[in-house]
Structure 1
Amino acid sequence: MAGTRTEQNETTGQFHRGKVIGVTLAAALGGLLFGFDTSVINGAVNSIQSTFDLGVGVVGFTVAITLLGCAVGAWFAGQLADAWGRKIIMVIAAVLFTASSIGSGLAFAEWDLMGWRLIGGLAIGIASVIAPAYIGEVAPAKYRGALSSLQQLAITLGIFLALLSDAALAGFAGSASSELWFGLPAWRWMLLVGVVPALVYGILALTIPESPQYLVRKKRDDEALRVVRDVTGAADPEKRLGEIKESLEDARRASYRELRGTALGLQPILWVGIGMAAFQQLVGINAIFYYSTTLWQSVGFSEDDSFITSVITAVINVALTFVAIFFVDKVGRKKLLLAGSIGMFVGLVAASVAFSQATESGGDVHLGAPWGAIALVGANLFVIAFAATWGPVMWVVLGEVFPNKIRALGLGIATAFNWIFNFLVTLLFPVLSEAVGLGFVYAGFALFAALSFWFVKALLPEVTGLELEDKQKLARTK
């Protein structure tokens, strides 16, 4: 009998693992939209500039305006998710993203394109908050780090698919500006193809259960118990439900008053989340993924070689995310982040030195030997370090470090700051690159990589392996 009971428990555990992985993957597809839309503009930048006859500043704003929408969407996503539920917010994000892809691809003027990209940003900002919040609430503590890292894996896959589709469409047409199908140039199809992942995300969002924390908040305890029992696979579902209820005791829907604290008017843990979100962008990762094709062309690569180089970088980004998934629960969040800061610093310094050696001839900028190779190695070393650590682990930390009562709201605010700094980096990168040169810009990124090391070492608590309710107690001590 003992053997039979053990086999049943193992079967049940396996069944629960399958369930939780399935719903996690569905939620994490919001990250695919995140990565796809923010990077699909990469291959279209030069064509948009020539089509609408734009200056460098306006081009930067056209790329970056999506990120303003992301910040707004992220800021309000937590409140909406607490009021309406995680599932319905995911569906709303999918609808907005579908509309944005169609509108952007068919834009008839620059202001029209900006408007649709702003709407797409709202969708991405919402999805970027809801996915880690939902995964953090559904996943068991033992697997939470790896499952939460699937959000970043989806982001990297979205980046890869965007750059791959850009390269393929430009290849079919002959160039990004050449006509492809139905009289539309390839760059418009690059934007239109975003409808596909948006529809997939919306359909899958309809199939997953609501989070147990939201259900408890809404006094739907029977439904919450079913999710805890059938998805998370808790050994004692009733006890786990009691822990969730205790953590939400007397909890109304969180308001901004709950965020007040002793550290410059806010709870210290909120500043930790905001700092993590800011540093992830200030190291300059999206300067590579938004502008890499244009960047490599600017230093002498052909359009074809620039597209191929961008795709290779995206593949590296995807592959190294698996390192984080494998190690985040074994090594711990803090150690991975510290190692990542060191690796990013080394890669960025190498890229900075290489770009400082660029020469101009006849209006064209070139990187002579060996600096072109050093720039490539440095940039990809940076991507390797980021993809294996700060890319996924920052989202893991944001999804679990806040107390239950303010998790959705705190995550929304921290993510909004992530998008705000993303916007600033994206907007200023082409302007600063032209004004002071790529060498100084990458040196600035290297400085922020160094500062990120000291921030994590001094301020980030290690919460690997703790249940969310234990993290809540830890957060109150910080």
Structure 2
Amino acid sequence: MMVLAACLFVISSIGSGFAFAVWDLMAWRVIGGLAIGIASVIAPAYIGEIAPARLRGALSSLQQLAITLGIFLALLSDAGLARFAGGASNELWWGLDAWRWMLLLGVVPAIVYGVLSLRIPESPQFLIRRGRKEDALAVIANVTGAADPEQRYAEISSSIEDQRRSSYRDLRGPAFGLHPILWIGIGMAAFQQLVGINAIFYYSTTLWQSVGFSQEDSFTTSVITATINVLLTLVAIFFVDRVGRKKLLLAGSAGMFLGLVAAATAFAQASGTGDNISLPEPWGAVALVGANLFVICFAATWGPVMWVVLGEVFPNKMRGVALGVATAFNWIFNFLVTLLFPILSAAVGLGFVYAGFAFFAALSFWFVKALLPEFSGMELEDKSKLERRQA
């Protein structure tokens, strides 16, 4: 599946780079979206199965680190190409505009992703399902570092020996027609987007310009925000297995709420209309501090830890399908928040929009506190985990 995703990334990048119409470009971007969907599901599932329990949180957090680094490097490369050409719409090399090269450059990481995918082993769970015992034992011994490979093999085999191929029937349950643990996964995926992180990143430069920052200062502020996002993800990698998923998420929800309340209060003081909006002193500084406090708390907690939870919260029987459903909801809410942010900002103002994000941050605290079990240090096949789910 990773190789398939890499091929789709390559096709999307090349097709987008040579697009001749808007509908054509959109079609190629849809193919890229399929690749992103596959990669978003496969990465946490694979890491969750291949990583030992004591390191699973940190290793699963690497997915979010890769996402933040990828966004940051893409922004830098796009800015470099645009500057070298004198503008994104200016011709760069071989008669192609700079914006086309921005899209074509995606072929490079796609090829690297595909080549590396061919060099990593299959997970023990996959190999055991295929009856490849020796290969599974080799992976358990050489990759996961299990002290007793035979015992670990027996534990995994015991958890999947009576399980048929995963299907959507496995998701059915007593909670509004679905298994309760699936609702927890969907809730985690939804709240990660409903707090507004991608609205801030997608519209960061425009946002700061809309409240009086110059174009140069807005760009600098956006770069600072992106850098904070990357650096704080490293903090999550360090603490997720030491502190625990639940404690980090609760602290993150509280911190995000405070930052968003500060930003909402500041933006509520904006004066002017249209392109002539400004924040009086000291509210510009308050908005900047509040927004970056929010990014700090998100990047150190909900950004990476949500993917850690999705990779380990589902039982083997439904993990693949359930992870796919939860990831789909994450992208759906990403789309909705991104689509509605500029519309609501124009209709009711940034103060009310950020207040809405603060509301969802507060709601996420209750959700984690009341519903999310703590899985730190447990193997995926740990029977006590299943008992805690049922409780």
Task: Sort the TM-score into its range (normalised by shorter chain).
Answer: over 0.9
8 Å CA contact 2:246–2:372 kept in 1: the answer is yes
Secondary structure of the residue aligned to 1:250 is coil
TM-score of the pair, normalised by structure 2: 0.95
Which residue in 1 is equivalent to 2:152?
A: 240
Which residue in 1 is equivalent to 2:110?
A: 198
In 2: Cα distance, 1:345 partner to 1:182 partner: 50
Which residue in 2 is equivalent to 1:388?
A: 300
Superposition pairs of residues 113-132 of structure 1, within 5 angstroms: 113-132=25-44
Is 1:150 aligned to 2:62, yes or no? yes
Which residue in 2 is equivalent to 1:278?
A: 190
In 2: Cα distance, 1:423 partner to 1:363 partner: 25
8 Å CA contact 1:401–1:475 kept in 2: the answer is no
Secondary structure of the residue aligned to 1:365 is coil
Is 1:314 aligned to 2:226, yes or no? yes
Superposition pairs of residues 70-149 of structure 1, within 5 angstroms: 89-149=1-61
User: What CA RMSD, in Å, does the superposition of the two structures yield over aligned residues?
Assistant: 1.8
In 2: Cα distance, 1:162 partner to 1:370 partner: 33
In 2: Cα distance, 1:205 partner to 1:159 partner: 21
8 Å CA contact 2:252–2:302 kept in 1: the answer is yes
Unaligned runs of 5+ in 1: 1-88
Q: 1:447 to 1:192 in 2, by over 3 A?
A: same
Is 1:261 aligned to 2:147, yes or no? no
In 2: Cα distance, 1:245 partner to 1:360 partner: 65
Superposition pairs of residues 61-76 of structure 1, within 5 angstroms: none
Is 1:163 aligned to 2:75, yes or no? yes
In 1: Cα distance, 2:174 partner to 2:135 partner: 38
Which residue in 2 is equivalent to 1:432?
A: 344
Q: 1:363 to 1:469 in 2, by over 3 A?
A: closer
Is 1:354 aligned to 2:266, yes or no? yes
8 Å CA contact 2:189–2:327 kept in 1: the answer is yes
Is 1:456 aligned to 2:368, yes or no? yes
TM-score of the pair, normalised by structure 1: 0.78
- Structure 1 residues 165-217: Cα deviation after superposition (integer angstroms, max 9, x where no partner): 23323333344444444444433333332222111111110100011101111
8 Å CA contact 1:269–1:475 kept in 2: the answer is no
Q: 1:362 to 1:439 in 2, by over 3 A?
A: closer
What is the number of residues matched between the two proteins?
A: 390
8 Å CA contact 2:373–2:389 kept in 1: the answer is no
Secondary structure of the residue aligned to 1:234 is coil
8 Å CA contact 1:146–1:326 kept in 2: the answer is yes
> Could you tell me which amino acid in structure 1 is paired with residue 2 of structure 2?
M
Is 1:213 aligned to 2:129, yes or no? no
Q: Deviation of residue 438 (structure 1)?
A: 1.6
> Among residues 186, 209, 224, which one is paired with 1:297 in the alignment?
209
Is 1:371 aligned to 2:245, yes or no? no
In 2: Cα distance, 1:294 partner to 1:183 partner: 31
8 Å CA contact 1:283–1:446 kept in 2: the answer is yes
8 Å CA contact 2:61–2:237 kept in 1: the answer is yes
Q: Which moved more, 1:360-369 or 1:253-262?
A: 360-369
8 Å CA contact 2:48–2:312 kept in 1: the answer is yes
In 2: Cα distance, 1:238 partner to 1:249 partner: 16
In 1: Cα distance, 2:128 partner to 2:216 partner: 54
8 Å CA contact 1:404–1:472 kept in 2: the answer is no
8 Å CA contact 1:403–1:475 kept in 2: the answer is no
Q: Deviation of residue 240 (structure 1)?
A: 0.5
Is 1:337 aligned to 2:337, yes or no? no
